[in-house]
Structure 1
Amino acid sequence: MKTRTYLLLMLVAIIVPVAGLSTLGLSMLLQSERESRLRAIEEMANSASLQIDSEIGRAEAALRIVANSREIGTDDFAALYRLLSATRTSPLSWTLVADYSGSGIINTLVPYGTPLARNTGRWAADIYDAQVPRVGGYFIGASSKRGVVSVNVPVPAAAGKKYVVTQIFDPAYFNKVFQRHVLDPDWIIGVFDAKGISIARSRGAAQFVGKPVRPALYEASRRQPSGMVANITREGVQVYTVFVRSSLTSWTVAIGVPVDEIESAARLTTWYAAAALLAILGGAVSIAVFFGRRIDRALQGATSAAHALADGTVIEVVPSGLQEADGLSHVLHRTGLALARERAARAALEEERERLLDMERSARQRAEAQDHAKDNFISMLSHELRNPLAAITNALSAIRMPAMPAPHRDKAWDIASRQLAHLTHMVGDLLDVRRVLSGKVTLQTARVNLGELVKFCCDSKMVANAKDHEWSVSVVQAHVVGDANRLTQVVDNILANAIKYTPAGGSITVRMWCDDAMAVIEVADTGVGIAPDVLPTIFDSLVQGPTTIDRSQGGLGLGLSIARGLVHMHGGTLSADSEGPGEGSTFTVRLPREPQDAGPPV
């Protein structure tokens, strides 16, 4: 057995019990972290319960003052109503004074003198006879006709008036208690009375207030004043519910937190501890392995160098601490280096040969691509020239016919003239793209109002195209230094492209604005769009969308190439963007402007 194997067995004998104890410790840490989270939630529930008790306590103190007031003693209920109405602080809380039979005398929820419910039960008699304040549970108010809770204080028997003063709260009144606590959106905080009826709830109040809580939660709250229960909420979510029952009101404040949230937080902490422990154990293993390799390297170094020499490879000599083994390893290493240099020289020659072959293949591919482009252009050009030439030939043949009526002859002349103009335009495009791409165009620069130029181009296009597309034009005053004719050619080419590729009924939007030192022209349409594979080459010469032999859109595909070349000659940029076929296109021209220009819309 190797020396390194012995060391590894010793390491395993140490790590196994340590790993067992670590697993137990991590389990305890997980439980402790879970309990810590739940204690924090319990403190929050205690805080909410104390705040509710504080609200109830203030209401009870105020009711005691009213119960001992002069107005009660003298049955001056009109004055008492004015006093209570003036001191009412919330529309969600009001005061009721009832007699021994439960009949209402005044209620600040309604105007004074409004008839109130009579003989509503023995609740008032029970409270008066007991001469002890009582906090009621959830019930439907006789005047408000909605769910409410109440704080009831009897008038002292010594006063000789058998009245009960009641502060009534809409459950929504206690929402302000919830708002004082920053809760996760998935948490639920609620309050239910001694009978298990929901009084208030942070989520789903309209659906669940006034209805019984889950039996498991209610039974747990009756067995002990505080605690935790795992249950399923009425929304169907599994939660840990921490509850605290108030000794003042017998109401219970419960906070439900999703089980996954508690468990994930506890697990995360445990995972961090586990990762740290694994890092420590890994470090220990690494150190042991390191020293094992140092010892083993002294025995295997010479053998490895000999094998490397036989395999034609070179390995670095790592000192092992044994002089004899290190000396032999260095000799074998130097021999391997000599052989490696010879192999490297042969490999360099082979690499150079491959590089020359790659260059030859690349050159051949470029030549083939250029031939293919030339063939495509000749095919497209012959197709584009054939149509107008055929039309001119037919028109001239018709003109030469002796019996041709004058109207038909005039129409033939018109056809010949239009097709001749079309041929002239194509030849002009060919000459323009040649001059622009070769840099032989001379710009006649002057100060140009770019806003008026764009407006003029749009107006010209709209006159000829008013019925086919919906136009929207918005420009501002901005001056640039450039050739007005060439800039007009740029805008006309972009607008012509938008008109050509936007079906009838589509819209064309032209906007112009100033951006820092640049004047920006944007032409957007709702046309056929541009495919992602065509977009990078849309400004190359002869590109016209998916180029096919039928050339359904016509033209030589040079307009955008000419436009970009002219824009670059003016120191600007021309870019295109499209979401894809059928999503329309947007072309953006950016030209440097004079700094003082940023005028109103033209």
Structure 2
Amino acid sequence: MPPVPAVTLKLRTHYLLLALSIVAPIALFSAFAFDMLLSAQRETARRGIEEAARTSSVVIDADIDRARSVMQVLGKSHALAAGDLRRFHAEAAAANAGPGAWMILYDASGRQLFNTRLPYGQAGAARPDMDVLRAVLRDGADRISGIRSVRSLDMTVVMVDHPFTLPDGSQRVLAQVFSPSYFARAIAGRAIPSSWRSSVIDADGKIIARSHRADEFAGRSANPVVEAARRSGVSGAFRHVTADGFDAYDYFVRSPLSGWTVVVSAPVDEVEATVWQSVRVTLVGLSLAIVAALALAILSGRRLLRFVARASVAARALGEGRAAPLRPSAIREMEELNVALREAGERLEQEMRSRALAEEERNAALALERTARAEAERQNAAKDEFLAMLGHELRNPLSAMSSAIAVLDAAPAHAERARDVLRRQSAHLRALVDDLLEVNRALMGKLSLRHDPVDLAVVVAACAETLRTAGATGNCRLVTALAPAPVLGDATRLAQIVDNILDNAIKYSPNGGVVRIAVGLRDGAVQLIVSDEGEGIAPALLPQVFNVFVQGEQTLQRARGGLGIGLTLVRRLVDLHGGSIAIDSPGEGLGTTVTVRLPVNA
């Protein structure tokens, strides 16, 4: 067999290029890599400090927010509403944030009604900052203080005040008090190195807590460098010498909830040592990589020669009509076979993906068809039920009217009573027809509204008074908590919304039940909440309560009446006012809560 120098040359060239492609780029860019690595390590360390600061800020905000939520719940306590301070003291003590925290209940004059830090019946000193207490009661909003000194306790504390009004109209302020040790434990318990320092600074630049030497620094002014950085923005990095005497990289984050600032400081020496340690490790790894690359190049060359030998054997086998395996190769001439096989495999895979996609689309279309059919069947059932209800609703007044006409014909002495029946049943029929027309107009988008400044609290008060005067509350008691709630809307349609909601609440409440009505501002919107203690709504029915003609199960006598269209009309009217409505019920027999939110008329 004659020699084949051309093939030998190509293999040697490939071998050389393989070695150079591995070693040369590593040697050429190693300097740039070390510089980039050094910068990246410093950035990683800075991000670690930033993450620790943000995590600590989130933890503190969570503690404050949890305290506010607990106080909001306690403010609605039945024990407090009933005047049972002993039981309310026990509830507040059980809901306390933990060691280093306690709750105080103040009346409007600043007198302590109880203090969970003390046994019940033993109250502390009166509130010294009456201007703050009056402002909290006036604004009706929670307030988070900075650190302040309490002489009676000989310590510094921070307070979260929550105002609320009792059913009898008296005002109270429930305060969650935190000692510096509470927040010191919170920030010291974060997953950060023990050599780092964490501090919490209030909006006036006073230190609330530190992870180290907390009692010594509580109430002191922050370091001028820290204070200057804190005033420069809501977050950022800086460098300064800490009160413990070491040079530190720092990062601060200001909480939008409390206005406090969390500062985390890491020793410069420690950070730089970590950075250079990483660089040294990388340098060792890079050296090993170069050695490994050279070894790999030599090994690859030997494998390449072996592949050529196997390719020759495979070619002879093909010439004899036999199949022989051919391993993959990085050589272009030998890889063309692999390319052809890969292309065939890719085409097959593409075909399989197309078939799978078509199958998936077919299944999705089938599922949509089933869903549409089920919805159509449900709508048809709702239509049948509505027609049955309409027949019952129309038959009853028509029967009564027929009887009254018979009385007029046969017994003139009872004419006045028969006329009352005719008037009442005619009004009932008119109401049914009006409801049907209103819902039809709403569904067809033909309702029009006025847009006048209206106080929703006044509308609700008028509706409640009308129900009481007309005796339409049955045996239910209406309890209202109304605060000014300016909206831009149609007073008549707003009254229609309120009447429908109250009518449902009264209709489904037991004898002697209580219907609570609250109106006020919450989260930047006007909010109306109506809650009852009635039959509630089954979980399966909740998602459908706003659908037209939907009602819960009723007996053939239909004692409560109605066509199941009231809530459909209510939701449409609320939508036209740019608001939203939600209904919630824990389940059957557990009452229902309706919440309406409307835009504030600023």
Give the TM-score category using the shorter length: 0.3 to 0.5
The TM-score, its normalising length taken from structure 1, stands at 0.42
The TM-score, its normalising length taken from structure 2, stands at 0.42
